[in-house]
Amino acid sequence: MRRRRSAGVRRVTTEYHALRLGRGQGVAGRGGAVESDGGNAWDAGSATGWHGPPPGQPSAVTEPTPAEGAPGVAVVVPTYNERDNLGALFEMILALGPAYRVIVVDVASPDGTGTLADQLAAGRRGRLQVLHRSSKEGIGPAYIAGFRVALADGAERIAQMDADHSHDPADLPRLVATTAIHDLALGSRYVPGGRTEGWPLHRRLLSRLGGLYARVVLGVPIADLTSGFKVWRREALAALDLDVLRADGYAFQIETTYRTLRRGGRVAELPIVFADRVAGASKLSRRVVLEAAVVVWRLRFESSRQQAAGNTQSTG
């Protein structure tokens, strides 16, 4: 298995609103906070808009470190035909310490992934829980099922990641530490220090262009809206109405991040190295890509209707 060096993190807090500023400056206004990919914090409420060192001077870099008495972390991992990957992933997550446990949501894998997960759980009671879905409903419903169990069990932080080792468990402590002051931490391929490894050119272009498309349509300053490597504060995830989430695949990742921003959540992007899967076949399909293209417009129109309704009430 390839060993990957975890990237560092350069962070700056800005405010989320419709006012778009330059790259590295984030977005300013009311609502939730966003971590941009470099620069200093801008504040639309100040006289100059500048918060921090004057332009051209170096800014401070904050390195989040896991604190003692770290919160309990439930890591939700959907699986479909991931038998060859699951055992190693499980041990890597548990090696992070007793605060970590895993919730596997297997969607009727024909290769026996669910059976293996049950066997692993029997040997490590309390650290691994397995949910079995009767049909392949998609990654969205699988995540929602895992989220519900994590929230019901009282997890203070809920992480989500792929089972194929594209997401490195060694990055989890950085993401968890960042949620001490943010509602959602994203592992990002597209901020400085982040990258993908092992993908062919067409996959890199599809991911880049898809993320840019969603970012422009929705008007949010997140560099990697399709990232599926996330850590949530319990309060932020509980604030989402899981019953209204209908998207799957890339679209599910876009929808959950966007709804968090719309609710005023503070979102941080941290650089990660995303490697191509170690074993098994990719689940990406044309349907997943087309769904994401449509869902971003649904989210935009929904937001526009809510804003119009709010304006009507305020003037009525």
What are the b/e assignments for 156-173, b being 16+ CB within 10 Å? bbbbbbbbbbbbbbbbbb
pLDDT at 54: 33
CA distances to 40, 49, 60, 180 from 52, in Å: 6, 10, 9, 22
Contact assessment for residue 67 and residue 177, using Cβ atoms and an 8 Å cutoff: yes
pLDDT at 44: 27
- Residue 88, Cα to own-chain centre: how many angstroms? 22
pLDDT at 114: 96
End-to-end Cα distance, the chain? 63
Q: What are the boundaries of each domain within the chain?
A: 73-304
pLDDT at 308: 58
> Model's pTM, two decimal places?
0.74
Q: What are the residue ranges of helices labelled H in 219-271?
A: 234-239, 249-262
Distance (Å, rounded) from C-alpha 253 to C-alpha 266?
16
Q: What is the pLDDT along the chain (316 residues), one digit of tens a residue?
A: 444 444 443 333 333 322 222 223 332 222 444 544 332 222 222 222 222 233 333 333 343 444 455 689 999 999 999 999 999 999 999 999 999 999 999 999 999 999 999 999 998 888 999 999 987 677 899 999 999 999 999 999 999 999 999 999 999 999 999 999 999 999 999 999 999 998 888 888 888 888 888 899 999 999 999 999 999 999 999 999 999 887 777 789 999 999 999 999 999 999 999 998 655 455 455 666 676 677 788 887 787 666 655 555 555 5
pLDDT at 203: 80
73-304 placed in CATH 3.40.630.30: no
| 93 CB neighbour count, 10 Å cutoff | 22
Distance (Å, rounded) from C-alpha 291 to C-alpha 124?
38
| Phi, psi of 109, rounded to the nearest 5 degrees | -65, 125
